[in-house]
Structure 1
Amino acid sequence: MPPPDTMYCSQQINIPPELPDILKNFTKAAIRTQPKDLLVWSAAYFTALSNGEALPVKDRLELNVATQKTDTGLTPGLLKTLHRQLGSTETCSMEDVLQKWKGLCLPLEQMQVILSLGNFSSDIVWMDFFALGCSALGGTLVSSLKIACEILTEDEEGGAARIPFSTFVQVYTYLAHLDGDLTQSQIDHFLKSLQSDVDRQEGMIQVSNFYLARK
């Protein structure tokens, strides 16, 4: 007599009704994110999904990255994804950052450089790590701030890229101190030069404001 769990026909296989939508969403996410290692990223994706966490998924496909044959490392889209995963709290553990970083298949050497520059310990102030990620992408202080605004803004793509001035001050001050070429007096003077524009925009600042102020 055959065991009770023997399948006789396809009609006996129970397919959960939510499975097609799960697979459809997963496929779209993989296409947008273009992970270097699909298996590693898939494990991170379904772990986050089962835990109700932010998914390791980019908002849109970055065409300039998708056409590269070699690993390009961190991109604005991936940094935005990391911020969505880790930016809900002021600090996060080294283990959490490493886990999310690996889940996006980013090179560990690049993370080690950021950790070294920030002299981080077991607990990481997320916005400091985020600022260094922007610096790795931008190269210069102004370009880094532009990237930070474009990632953090809630404006539509191509818009003013406004962010709260308090957030801008946090990112700018941290990077300016690391830069080492600016004195505290110069930092304070630059921030003061933005205040009238910030007041007109009810505590917000946009990319064009600080670009004009720096020129």
Structure 2
Amino acid sequence: MPIIEEPYYCHEQIEIPPILPDILKQFTKAAIRTQPKDPLAWSYEYFKALAHNEIPPVKERLEMAYCSQKTDTGLTEGILKTLHNQLGMCHRIPLCKIEEKWLALGLPLLRLQAIWTTGKFGYDAPWTHFLALAAAQISPTVSDTLALLCSLFTTDPEGSDPAIPFGLFTSLYYFLAAEIGSVPKSHVRHVIQHHAYNIQGSCGLISPRVFQHRMAPKLHPDQPK
């Protein structure tokens, strides 16, 4: 059997790109923040995103999972923020694209399918509606879900009371009230009218501090005071 002679390279012949150390440094930091369940699969998705000039599946900071969940959804505020950073620039997103980013973060496929079924989505879904149902997976009430969505959609700096446009709040509230909250439409209209009057001096923005105020009407009529 003939011996195949392979060329021998010395260290002088092996060129290491100057940016490689920084790439590996950023990769390590991203892995520590994200804490992927499957590091190998996540690493593939991370470098694939960089190669295609896309936002990689990286959390903005290290966080602990929600301990109050009855079942392990795999979702956290940081995970939802990562998905929003990757997909939130489009109004409607195909299921295949959401599934790609979803699985890259090690999230259970059955959970995605359950959200898709709940939303009665078809080939694609309005991103705001999909994210609202995903947020509801880790929020016990409609009010808590909307507060979480404010944190995801806001452009305000971290640490401030996260405000969003009132039109977006109205759309999300109507959707959640119908899909998961079983809130009567008459009650939703009452809440919307109340806040529409009170935000006139707030540049058309609303935040959790406003709709969760003890004097504000409850977002769900059965919500405890």
**Which residue pairs with 1:146 in the alignment?**
147
5+ unaligned residues in a row in structure 1: which ranges? none
Give the alignment's TM-score, normalised by structure 2: 0.87
Q: Matches of 1:54 and 1:46 in 2, distance apart?
A: 10
CA RMSD in angstroms comes to 2.1
Deviations 1:100-124 (A, max 9, x none): 0000011112111111111111111
Measured after TM superposition, the shift of residue 214 of structure 1 is: 3.2
Measured after TM superposition, the shift of residue 64 of structure 1 is: 4.7
**Which residue pairs with 2:22 in the alignment?**
21
Measured after TM superposition, the shift of residue 155 of structure 1 is: 2.1
How do 1:6-155 residues align onto structure 2 when only pairs under 5 Å count?
6-7=8-9, 9-64=10-65, 73-155=74-156
DSSP-derived class of the 2:57 partner: coil
Measured after TM superposition, the shift of residue 198 of structure 1 is: 2.2
1 or 2, which has the higher helix percentage? 1
* 1:33/1:61 contact within 8 Å kept: yes
DSSP-derived class of the 2:93 partner: strand
* 2:65/2:75 contact within 8 Å kept: no
Structure 1 stretches of 4+ with a deviation exceeding 3 A read 2-5
DSSP-derived class of the 1:26 partner: helix
**Which residue pairs with 1:165 in the alignment?**
166
Give the alignment's TM-score, normalised by structure 1: 0.91
Q: Matches of 2:88 and 2:22 in 1, distance apart?
A: 28
Measured after TM superposition, the shift of residue 63 of structure 1 is: 3.4
Q: Matches of 1:127 and 1:71 in 2, distance apart?
A: 23
Aligned length, in residue pairs: 210
DSSP-derived class of the 2:12 partner: helix
* 1:197/1:209 contact within 8 Å kept: no
Q: Percent identity?
A: 43
Q: Which moved more, 1:171-180 or 1:140-149?
A: 171-180
Q: Matches of 2:182 and 2:73 in 1, distance apart?
A: 29
Q: Matches of 2:62 and 2:181 in 1, distance apart?
A: 36
